[in-house]
A and B are shown apart, each in its own frame.
Chain A
Amino acid sequence: EIVLTQSPGTLSLSPGERATLSCRASQRVSSSYLAWYQQKPGQAPRLLIHGASSRATAIPDRFSGSGSGTDFTLTISRLEPEDSAVYFCQQCGSSPLTFGGGTKVEIK
């Protein structure tokens, strides 16, 4: 099983700052099969990034994904208040499909 470890657990930043979220896999993940989601309280998750670096439809360009192999990163270039949420990574290329434990982003 590919275990996805997300860090940090919580990130507290001010509006306009840059957020860097990490997703580290216990085994190699094909870039094509790595996705990032945003989940706000009481809402369903929303796809931000698929294929490690492809932004989903209508996702602002301040969100970007990068990485390969076992190390992947979600970057929010300039935080907005509405970016306060929990962010999850997911790998869909190897059974079982797995999610990371999430990173909570707090806006000061």
Chain B
Amino acid sequence: EVQLVESGGGLVQPGGSLRLSCSASGFTFSNYAMHWVRQAPGKGLESVSAISSGGGSTYYADSMKGRFTISRDNSKNTLYLQMSSLRVEDTAVYYCVKAVSSGWYSGGDHWGQGTLVTVSS
């Protein structure tokens, strides 16, 4: 059974940093691209970042470029999202998502339960 367990969320002040982690199990992690998708309270879904199976290709939404860094450790079956210069508008539930394939082009077929990031003073 595929399991994705996010951690690292919490309350942070504007301008602060957080690192989210996603521990994956139940599939060959190194064979699949991974996504981070977020959802602000009561709002829709927003693609934050994605990384190819080997880690060589990455994607960032424009508003995250230069502030967020996605990475993965295939030896530890773990996905990361380093977030810095956080803004109030980054407040959201952040989901770790397994892609359908090695590239991120086919969407995500398994989602974690999400971790809440709250940016507030």
Which residues from chain A contact B108 at a C-beta distance below 8 Å? 35, 47
Does the CB pair A95–B59 fall under 8 Å? yes
Known: A88-B44, A98-B47. A44 touches B112 (CB 8 A): yes
Interface pick from B7-15, B77-85, B98-106: B98-106
Q: How far is the CA of A35 from the CA of B111 in the complex (A)?
A: 14
Does the CB pair B106–A50 fall under 8 Å? yes
**Total count of chain B residues near the partner, CB < 8 A:** 22
Residue B62 interfacial (CB < 8 Å): yes
Chain A's interface size range is 20 to 34
Residue A46 interfacial (CB < 8 Å): yes
Closest beta carbon of chain A to B106's beta carbon, Å: 5
The residues of A with any CB-CB pair to B shorter than 8 Å are: 32-33, 35, 37, 39, 44-47, 50-51, 56-57, 88, 90, 92-93, 95-102
The 4 closest A-B pairs by CB, nearest first: A35-B107, A97-B47, A44-B111, A99-B45
The residues of B with any CB-CB pair to A shorter than 8 Å are: 37, 44-47, 50, 59, 61-62, 95, 100, 104-114
